[in-house]
Amino acid sequence: MEETIREIIEDAAESKWGKSGKYIADIGFFIIDTAQNRRTIRKQKLNVFRNKSYDMSYLYNEVILKNFVKRNFRYYGSNRNISIYKVKAEIKSKQYFQRNIILTGQTGSGKSTALKWLFLNTTLHKCNYIYLYAKMFDECKSLDEALKEIENIIPSDKHSIIFFDGLDELKCIKGNAYEFNKFISFFDKNSNHEFDKPDCKFVISTRPEHFGFNNMIIKKNSERSLDNYLIIELPELTPKEAFRICKSIKKLYQFDKKIGVSNFTNKWPSKEKRNIFFNEKEYLNILKKYLNVTKDANSLLNIPLLCRYAYQIICDWFESEQDSYNQIYKTQSDKVKKVIECCIKWEFHDRYTYQTEGGTGDVFLNKYRDRIWNFLTDIAGIMDDDKFIEKDQWMQAIKLREIQEINEAFCVLKEVKNKDEKEKLCFVHNIFQNYFLARYYILMTKEERKKCEDQYIYIYIKIKF
């Protein structure tokens, strides 16, 4: 049927405009076919992000990527900017196909989202696309075992682009220079052209400090050279970029309402709530003011992940002494702590308005905050280096800390179901899990710490940020 319609159109075009008409019709069909092929490939790629066993944000991937905020990246160790479109062009470049790419940045800087966007939007003719998560290799006991599994995934009969999210999150590694040298050797071996093997390109995301490849770039303590790598850094957001990302949270809020969940319910002004602090227009105006008056060093919204909590931050900033925000956050963990405090305060305000009038709720708020803070620490301690906690375990922690229910009061947790449909609990991002895991180890007694000294040192190195 489709072929018949095409022939009719070609004949009509040729009868009216001659051979040039047929030529124009063929070009039109080629464009349509290419677009349809790209849509098919895009749809297949999106299915990769619907795997809830590997990706805790699988519900939101399509919405996030559809409303992806383009921002400037930076050549690592340089002030030169590079757009994400140029990074995409580098991935597709046939001239530099054997040059691998590393996306790096601090925890929560948007590496995973950028890698997903690049995977989804990079299309190269006759090329295989593979997206790998660190969690896929949780069962591997050693780095050699993980590398062997990766090698088995790479097809031997087709050019391939391998996108690897979270190299630093592999459970079988400790994050030292020796391991990174081994990775680089593996990537170089598989991407270098051999006559009997198709080309292969790697696009990798990892934190820079985890392997200490600052030293490797300047060729210290490194057996392997990174000259054949394009290293891209995701810097802190500019005020304009932060505003656009904060504004995009509305799409996630609307998606939540559509599917009947509440992960973003308290992260955008709601018309349904009687005790709403701001309406949408007021919120966006005050958000602009906050971004204009806070400098890079003390803005809580220069990290994409923390923009998710912009509404609570802005409410707290507007209501409090604004001078209290004029401090320099020396570490990223200082920012995380401040954001969590804002979330807990505003969830408390939202649920217990009657307790906050006239300042009578201060004592109640402090008790509420301490319960949640200790509960999150308990959860992180039980999870340790795992990503999930079983329901019976977190139910015991709820009873111990007298927590009423799992909801947005805990702001950094969410319930998930694994492939067996068993309910589990996880942190929404490892930035929060790392923070509370650090707190768990800090609160240990000397005796407790001594019993697990090796694990303590390993965790300290891994969570330092």
pLDDT of residue 220: 44
Region 383-395 average pLDDT? 77
- In angstroms, what CA-CA distances link 177 with 76, 150, 209, 211, 299? 18, 20, 10, 5, 33
| Contact present, 84 and 118 (Cβ < 8 Å) | yes
Q: What is the CATH topology of the domain spanning 72-233? A: Rossmann fold (3.40.50)
Query: What Å distances lie between residue 253 and 175, 261, 367, CA to CA?
Result: 37, 9, 30
% of residues, the chain, pLDDT over 70: 68
Query: Which of the four pLDDT bands, split at 50, 70 and 90, describes residue 103?
Result: very high
The whole-number average pLDDT for the span 141-161 is 88
Among candidate residues 346, 293, 297, the one with its CA nearest the CA of residue 323: 293
pLDDT tens figures, 38-95? 566 667 777 777 766 656 677 788 888 889 999 989 998 788 999 999 999 888 876 6
Higher pLDDT, 13 or 270: 270
The mean per-residue pLDDT over the stretch 292-310 comes to 84
Enumerate the domain spans of the chain: 2-44, 72-233, 239-463
Name the amino acid, one letter, at 98.
Answer: Q
Compute the mean pLDDT over every residue in the chain, rounded to the nearest whole number: 76
pLDDT of residue 454: 53
Q: What is the gyration radius of the CA atoms in the chain, in angstroms?
A: 25
Full-model pTM: 0.79
Q: Where are the alpha helices (DSSP H) in 171-224?
A: 177-191, 208-211, 213-217
Q: How far apart are CA 465 and CA 462, in angstroms?
A: 9
> What does the alpha-carbon distance between residue 415 and residue 418 come to, in Å, rounded to a whole number?
10
Give the integer Cα–Cα distance in Å for 208 and 12. Answer: 60
Q: Is the pLDDT of residue 234 over 80?
A: yes
Packing angle, helices 19-48 and 111-121, rounded to 10: 150
Choice between 224 and 63, residue whose per-residue pLDDT is larger: 63
Let me know the angle formed at the C-alpha of 210 by 245 and 166, rounded to the nearest 5 degrees. Answer: 55
pLDDT of residue 465: 45
Query: Among 94-108, 137-151, 400-414, where is mean pLDDT lowest?
Result: 400-414
32-36, 136-140, 151-155: which has the minimum mean pLDDT? Answer: 32-36
Q: Does residue 221 have a pLDDT over 50? A: no
Comparing 285 with 450, which gets the higher pLDDT? 285
Choice between 46 and 26, residue whose per-residue pLDDT is larger: 46
**pLDDT category of residue 149 using cuts at 50, 70 and 90:** very high
